[in-house]
Chains A and B, each alone.
Chain A
Amino acid sequence: MTSVTDTAPAKPAFRLTRAFQGLERVIVPALLIAGWEAFARSGMLPPALLPAPSAVLHALGDWVFGFDETTQTYSGHWTRDALASALRVFGGFALASLLGILAGVAIGWSRLFEKTLEPTLQMLRPIPPVSWIPLAIIWFGIADKPAIFLVFLGAFFPVLMNSIHGVKTVDHNFVRAGAMMGANQRQMLTDIVLPAALPSIFAGLRIAVGSAWMLTVTAEMVAVKSGLGYVLWDSYYFLRYDIVLAAMISIGLLGYLSDLGLKAIMARTLRWQQATTVQGRTG
């Protein structure tokens, strides 16, 4: 009974700190948005040049749900545009992950691949993916393919570099332990080196998914006539900065969600690693 009275006063204090912890995350963005709204409404700049957050939200709402056609031809077409971009990201990213992991593991594991393959790839790496746009358009025309190609280029190298690094830095004592337990070359790769390199490979995948979004949008501005990047660039020509901002928010949101999805997959796959971080954080 005494314990109940003892703990009772502690509870509200605990709740208050919890509420504040939730609050401290939103306090900066809330102030920024409020300041922006106030500044936009003050009339110091024409509303066409700096749309207020409420106007951007309005444009975004109409773009998504098509309630009053403020966004004209885009009204109600957000899902289609977002899907077009997302599919390009997914296509290029999937291809880059597959080939990046394969090439990276091969280079990290085998001297032969390191000598034959790596110099060429390292020479291609510093070339900015964007500078491939002219060639991509000549080769693939104006459609999904040049965009997927650019996404591939942007996502491939982070995956490649991190896979090479992951495989090369595998503790050689793991390899010794594997050999001691009778692993053959294939088992050494699949049962020891690959799992040991996974944290590094996932780090590469997360960088890659960010690059993938950046490059889809870039490609859509020049080489494709659909998707969020296209809407952004097209609205800029029509001086619809509210739609430009709505497109920026959409891209940011989708990029963030892709990373969140990848993080969830990573957390599941690398559950063995989490044990340490969770302990470290709570303990």
Chain B
Amino acid sequence: MAAIELRNIVKVFSDKRRGRDLLTLDNIDLDIEANDFVCLLGPSGCGKSTLLNIIAGFEQATSGRTLVDGKQVERPGSDRGVVFQQPTLMPWLTAIDNIAFHLKLKGIAKAERNDRAMEFIDLVGLRGFEHHHPSEMSGGMNQRVGIARALLMNPSVILMDEPFAALDAQTKLEMQEELVAIWQKRRCTIVFVTHSVDEALVLGNKIVVMTKRPGRIREAVNFDLPRPRDSTSPEFNDAKRHILALIREESTRLAQAS
């Protein structure tokens, strides 16, 4: 059984102002295996966030079935950790309290919460900043808190929606490396949304290329290049060429159609 099973997902948004319906996801069918690091790659507006939000339970598919660990997804829950594009931390809580928020909601005592959160503070390299508020930390540090917060729940899958898009190039590279290290160490299932071919190739062992609107799956590419990956190696560039060809084919097809 796959960790995530998407069966014939269709999503239609009704555009009330213009009085018409917008087909956003067209028959998405995808299996994601446990411990996979899957990158959902596609141009902006193709429905990546919508698909992730359906898995997270924030949105309901118009039709189709979403199963996580064999269970139908109906609402958000702590079995699916989400890392948002903006860190979306509670600004009134310190880093450690943000990370331990899930435990607080479960009614666990402060001392134990702090104990357990410290492990994740260390994991994302924020020791010394545990009592800082989000407004006192950089974007990259806040996103680390966001990742730690999701990991602490020990979810069966972690869903990430372009979490590094707002970071500067250098911080982005650092965070990508650390995320891969965390994934290797903790063996979790990650679905990572990105519009960057390079990011997908650095991170994923499976790259799901989506088409422009309405979003369909163009091809799911397995990419098992050993890590750390060298983005100048021939294998890396072969894969990159293949994915770029898929995307280019797609745009010429659209150009001919219109």
- Cβ-defined contact, B105 with A177, below 8 A: no
- How many chain B residues touch the partner (CB < 8 A)? 28
- Cβ-defined contact, A275 with B136, below 8 A: yes
- How many chain A residues touch the partner (CB < 8 A)? 24
Given contacts A177-B84, A273-B135, contact A182 B92 (CB under 8 A): no
- Cβ-defined contact, A179 with B104, below 8 A: no
**Option from B77, B102, B135 in Cβ contact (under 8 Å) with A272:** B135
Q: Which of A266-283 contact B (CB under 8 A)?
A: 270, 272-273, 275-276, 279
Q: Chain B residues with Cβ under 8 A from A272's Cβ?
A: 91-93, 133, 135
B27 within 8 A of A: no
A180 within 8 A of B: yes
- Cβ-defined contact, B86 with A173, below 8 A: yes
A192 within 8 A of B: yes
**Option from B77, B88, B135, B136 in Cβ contact (under 8 Å) with A174:** B88
- Cβ-defined contact, B149 with A181, below 8 A: yes
- Cβ-defined contact, A181 with B78, below 8 A: yes
B61 within 8 A of A: no
Contact with B along A167-210 (1 / 0, CB 8 A): 00001011011111111100100011001101000000000000
Q: Chain A residues with Cβ under 8 A from B90's Cβ?
A: 174, 177, 192, 195-196
A192 to chain B, nearest CB (A): 7
**Option from A171, A182, A192, A275 in Cβ contact (under 8 Å) with B135:** A275
A281 to chain B, nearest CB (A): 14
- Cβ-defined contact, B56 with A180, below 8 A: yes
- Cβ-defined contact, A273 with B91, below 8 A: yes
Given contacts A176-B82, A182-B78, A273-B135, contact A171 B88 (CB under 8 A): yes
- Cβ-defined contact, A182 with B56, below 8 A: no
- Cβ-defined contact, B86 with A182, below 8 A: no
Contact with A along B146-170 (1 / 0, CB 8 A): 0001000100000000000000000
- Cβ-defined contact, B76 with A176, below 8 A: yes
* CB closest residue in chain B, given A182: B78
A111 to chain B, nearest CB (A): 18
In Å, the complex CA distance between A196 and B56 comes to 23
- Cβ-defined contact, B77 with A180, below 8 A: yes
* CB closest residue in chain B, given A172: B58
- Cβ-defined contact, B105 with A181, below 8 A: yes
Q: Chain A residues with Cβ under 8 A from B80's Cβ?
A: 180
- Cβ-defined contact, A275 with B92, below 8 A: no
B204 within 8 A of A: no
In Å, the complex CA distance between A222 and B153 comes to 62
Contact with A along B96-108 (1 / 0, CB 8 A): 0000011011100
Q: Among the interface residues A171, A174, A182, A198, which one has the most CB atoms of the partner chain B within 10 A?
A: A182
